[in-house]
């Protein structure tokens, strides 16, 4: 065990997740690669945790932050006018497609979701909320309450009444072999049933991730969210799209994940990649919801000048370089390559994703059962070969990958080669 790992274990909680059995210490980064304390470099196919959206050591971001620090004001208070904050809010409101949108900034995705839930429950005078099975929304009481993923749900105490709906989870016997259309009809039937039988009061909102991040990049079939939205509109229930992982063009085919489904939500929450590593999150919502008196208080640090300088530079970079198109191009190359490999490697149970957000599910070839041990083996093999990925999913058997949106075609091919080689190695070991 390295000296640093021993020190980590001595002072950090032992539930704190570390990705590898021998975790690395990252000491530097450039472009889409990071370097560890031994000098070894890695292609970062997890972008931090989808945080380094445009790669490492980006001059535009560094200079914007340095310019802000050079003013002498790292942060005064959010009770004064902050130019960077207003400019960022204008951009996000415009990109959101939400009518009369307003933006409230936080420091994290958890706080963003907490804020959205506060706004929705306040507006609808109800503590009843709909959420999705296998979801993850953060680690505060409210965010955990709407989390439907047992491996991340570390509290059963809830400030909300939550009803969980079907979406990306299609494992139940009753759903097997169903067409998407039949599955969507069954889900909508279930939603109507929940509303008619379980929900005592008016329901405030549905919160959902367009692609479930921590859940293993699992996706509801196209058409499900639009079908749910029809019911929600009939009932006056608000729709909150959690875009913490899916925002900013990552899915390639839309700027925010929910736009892939032709649905305009009432609110979106965001965080992760916006500051390219600097902590910033927030909510963009219809103005009438945002202006509910007393609904949200002040956030001392949310949208502070340094974070907004980084975020403005990052967002401008994404738009100026059309990184959404790059996500589609490079992501499609990788997903198609993975699908080809999966067709001949029984150890790969599933390949899924959109743009630069894709996953492989490792299974026991004999039984088809989820294989977390093989996912752990994949992580070690790819780490050795110089690529970082993320492990996850409900069963710990999904490998999640979401490189920076700046990934080049050559890096996409290099990463694909490393991934396929690791899958071939594991396949040979177990078949």
Kindly state the smallest distance separating residue 209's Cβ from ligand PLP, in Å: 5
With tokens 């630069």, the residue in question is 356
Q: How far is the CB of 27 from ligand PLP (least distance, A)?
A: 23
Query: What CA–CA distance (Å, rounded) separates 361 from 374?
Result: 10
Does 402 help bind ligand PLP (rule: CB under 6 A)? no
Residue nearest to ligand PLP (CB): 109
Selected binder of ligand PLP within 114, 209, 350, 411 (CB under 6 A): 209
Nearest to 388 by CA among 36, 30, 16: 36
Where does 2-58 have alpha helices with state H?
3-11, 47-50
**Which residue of 271, 315, 351, 356 would you call a contact of ligand PLP, by CB under 6 A?**
271
By CB under 6 A, the count of residues binding ligand PLP is 15
Among 103-111, 182-190, 353-361, 392-400, the segment contacting ligand PLP (CB under 6 A): 103-111
- Comparing CA positions, the residue from 295, 287, 249, 289 lying closest to residue 270 is 249
Q: How far is the CB of 266 from ligand PLP (least distance, A)?
A: 17
- For position 108 contacting ligand PLP by CB under 6 A, the verdict is yes
Whether the CB-CB separation of 215 and 168 falls below 8 Å is answered with: yes
Using CB under 6 A, which residues numbered 35 to 54 contact ligand PLP?
none
Task: Compare residues 68 and 110 and give the one whose CB is closer to ligand PLP.
Answer: 110
**140 vs 425 by CB, closer to ligand PLP:** 140
Min. distance of Cβ 384 from ligand PLP in angstroms?
26
CA distances from 175 to 128, 198, 215, 321 (A): 27, 22, 19, 42
**Does residue number 411 form part of the binding site for ligand PLP (CB under 6 A)?**
no
Decide if residue 214 touches ligand PLP (CB under 6 A): yes
Query: Looking at the DSSP assignment, which residues form a beta bridge with residue 129?
Result: 162, 205
List all residues 6 or more positions away from 94 whose beta carbon is below 8 Å from its beta carbon: 101
Q: CB-wise, 204 or 244, nearer to ligand PLP? A: 244
Nearest C-alpha neighbor of 54 from the set 357, 283, 277:
277
Among 136, 270, 317, 358, binds ligand PLP (CB under 6 A): 136
CB of 237 within 8 A of CB of 278?
Answer: no
Single residue of 47, 95, 191, 244 touching ligand PLP by CB under 6 A: 244
Query: Stretches 78-86, 239-247, 260-268, 399-407: which one binds ligand PLP (CB under 6 A)?
Result: 239-247
Residues 83 and 425 sit within 8 Å (Cβ to Cβ): no
Residue from 242, 350, 361, 411 touching ligand PLP (CB under 6 A): that is 242
User: Where does residue 207 rank: exposed (0-12), middle (13-18), buried (19+ CB within 10 A)?
Assistant: buried
Residue closer to ligand PLP by CB (options 120, 244) is 244
Residue nearer to ligand PLP on the CB measure, 112 or 371: 112
| Interface pick for ligand PLP out of 32, 52, 96, 113 (rule CB under 6 A) | 113
* Binds ligand PLP (CB under 6 A): choice among 121, 134, 218, 245: 245
Q: What is the closest distance, in whole angstroms, from the C-beta atom of residue 141 to ligand PLP in the complex?
A: 13
User: How close are the terminal C-alpha atoms of the chain, in Å?
Assistant: 32
CB of 352 within 8 A of CB of 219? yes
Q: Indicate the residue among 211 and 423 with the shorter CB distance to ligand PLP.
A: 211
Q: Which of 55, 84, 213, 415 binds ligand PLP (CB under 6 A)?
A: 213
Query: How far is Cα 64 from Cα 311, in angstroms, rounded to an integer?
Result: 9
342: left (phi over 0), alpha (psi -120 to 50) or beta: alpha
Kindly state whether residue 137 participates in binding ligand PLP, applying the rule CB under 6 A: yes
Q: How far is CA 247 from CA 101, 230, 232, 403, in A?
A: 16, 23, 23, 14
* Ramachandran angles phi, psi of 406, nearest 5°: -90, 5
Interface ranges with ligand PLP (CB under 6 A): 108-110, 113, 136-138, 209, 213-214, 242, 244-245, 271, 281
């Amino acid at each position: 065990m390295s000296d640093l790992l021993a020190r980590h274990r001595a002072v950090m909680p032992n539930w704190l997740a570390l990705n590898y059995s021998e975790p690395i210490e990252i000491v530097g980064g450039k472009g889409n690669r990071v370097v560890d304390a031994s000098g070894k470099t890695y292609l970062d196919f997890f972008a931090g945790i989808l945080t380094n959206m445009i790669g490492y050591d980006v001059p535009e971001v560094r200079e914007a932050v340095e310019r802000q620090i050079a003013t002498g004001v790292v942060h005064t208070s959010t009770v004064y006018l902050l130019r960077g904050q207003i400019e960022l809010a204008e951009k996000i409101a415009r990109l959101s497609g939400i009518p009369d949108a307003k933006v409230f900034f936080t420091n994290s995705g958890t706080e963003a979701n907490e804020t959205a839930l506060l706004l929705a429950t306040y507006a609808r005078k109800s503590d009843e909320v709909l959420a999705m099975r296998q979801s993850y929304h953060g680690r505060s009481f409210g965010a955990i309450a709407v989390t439907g993923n047992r491996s991340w749900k570390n509290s059963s105490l809830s400030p909300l009444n939550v009803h969980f709906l079907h979406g990306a989870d299609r494992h139940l016997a009753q759903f097997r072999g169903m067409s998407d259309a039949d599955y969507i009809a069954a889900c909508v039937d279930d939603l109507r049933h929940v509303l008619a039988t379980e929900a005592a009061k008016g329901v405030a909102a549905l919160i959902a991730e367009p692609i479930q991040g921590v859940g293993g990049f699992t996706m509801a079939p196209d058409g499900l969210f639009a079908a749910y939205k029809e019911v929600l509109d009939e009932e006056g229930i608000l729709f909150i799209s959690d875009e913490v992982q899916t925002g900013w063009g990552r899915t390639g085919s839309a700027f925010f994940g929910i736009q892939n489904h032709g649905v305009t939500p009432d609110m979106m929450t965001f965080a992760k990649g916006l500051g390219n590593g600097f902590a910033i999150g927030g909510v963009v919502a219809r103005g009438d919801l945002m202006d509910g008196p007393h609904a949200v208080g002040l956030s001392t640090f949310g949208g502070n000048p340094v974070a907004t300088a980084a975020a403005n530079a990052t967002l401008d970079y994404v738009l100026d370089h059309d990184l959404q198109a790059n996500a589609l191009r490079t992501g499609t190359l990788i997903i198609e390559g993975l699908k080809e490999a999966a067709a001949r490697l029984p150890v790969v149970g599933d390949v899924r994703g959109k743009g630069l957000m894709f996953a492989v599910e490792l299974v026991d070839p004999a039984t088809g059962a989820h294989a977390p041990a093989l996912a752990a083996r994949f992580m070690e093999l790819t780490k050795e070969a110089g690529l970082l990925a993320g492990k996850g999913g409900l069963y710990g058997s999904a490998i999640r990958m979401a490189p920076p949106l700046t990934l080049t075609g050559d890096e996409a091919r290099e990463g694909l080669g490393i991934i396929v080689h690791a899958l071939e190695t594991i396949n040979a070991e177990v078949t």
